[in-house]
Amino acid sequence: TCEGALQFVVYEELRKHVINNKSPDNPLLFFGLGAVSKVVASTAMYPAQVVRSRMMQRPVEGLTCKRDPMGLLETVRRTWKYEGVRGFYKGLLPNTLRTLPASALTFCL
């Protein structure tokens, strides 16, 4: 995924900057670098995930408020118009807290 690729790039750049060609045996350092890279990648890519999930929502029979299918630009426009920038980051914190430990551990091992 794009988020995974971005996370790996951020991790490598952080590792180069922090370690400076040394090879420390501190797993907590790698855990921290993995956690920071996950937060950066998630924050950067989350708006795309929100837009994608909103585009996949289908109208439900029997509801008074039916949604018409929207394209990419219309989804972005409506989100911006009715919710502002916060609308693109709804659910970021719970999603990051759910995925952060496993992602950080990946770089620890």
Side chain identity, residue 24: P
Return the CA Rg of the chain. 18
Average pLDDT over residues 84-103: 93
Tokens for 2, please give them. 């794009």
Q: Record the tokens describing residue 47, joined without a space.
A: 């708006």
d(CA 105, CA 31): 6
Q: What is the pLDDT of residue 106?
A: 87
3-class SS of residue 59: coil
What pTM value is reported for the model? 0.78
For residues 107 and 34, the answer to whether their CB atoms sit within 8 Å is yes
Q: Which pLDDT score, from 0 to 100, does residue 26 have? A: 80
Q: Which residue has the higher pLDDT, 91 or 65?
A: 91
pLDDT the model gives residue 81: 93
Cα–Cα distance between 87 and 49 in angstroms, integer? 12
Mean pLDDT across 77-101:
93
Give pLDDT tens digits for 25-83.
788 888 999 999 999 999 999 999 999 998 887 655 554 455 566 788 989 999 999 99
pLDDT for 94: 94
